[in-house]
Amino acid sequence: MDEITFQRKMQELMSRIQAMPESSDKANDCVEAAGERRIRIKNSVAELQESLDYLRLSVKYLVFDLEATRRENTYLRRMLEQSSRDAQRQIEDEEPNEDFGGDEERFD
């Protein structure tokens, strides 16, 4: 529904409401109830928007935290691999070389 059609329908509705008898308690009650419903709906929409904003923020935080955790995990794995390589080199350096060391047999 475009704006012009909406305005025309709204004018028709307003003219019908004005044509109703003023003393009708039932009509006044209906108008009040409609106004109250409108306010409740407006409040509900505002609360829903706020909840969606909070959800968006929470999701952004979780994505940021996930990316940071992945970076940290990669960094720690590299540190662990480096530490393992260093330990392995140290073990290899400390082992005596069997081909050139220690007890040699003499042939007489």
Question: pLDDT confidence of 6, banded at 50, 70, 90?
Answer: confident
Q: Considering the domain boundaries, does residue 60 fall inside one?
A: yes
Average pLDDT over residues 14-32: 74
Phi, psi of 96 (to 5 degrees): -70, 145
For residue 44, give its domain range: 25-93
Tokens (6 digits) for 17: 């409401």
15 located within any domain: no
Overall domain count for the chain: 1
Is 12 domain-assigned? no
The number of residues in the chain equals 108
Q: pTM to 2 decimals?
A: 0.48
Tell me the pLDDT tens digit for each residue of 29-71: 788 888 899 999 999 999 999 999 999 999 999 999 999 999 9
Looking at residue 102, its pLDDT comes to 53
pLDDT at 96 over 80: no
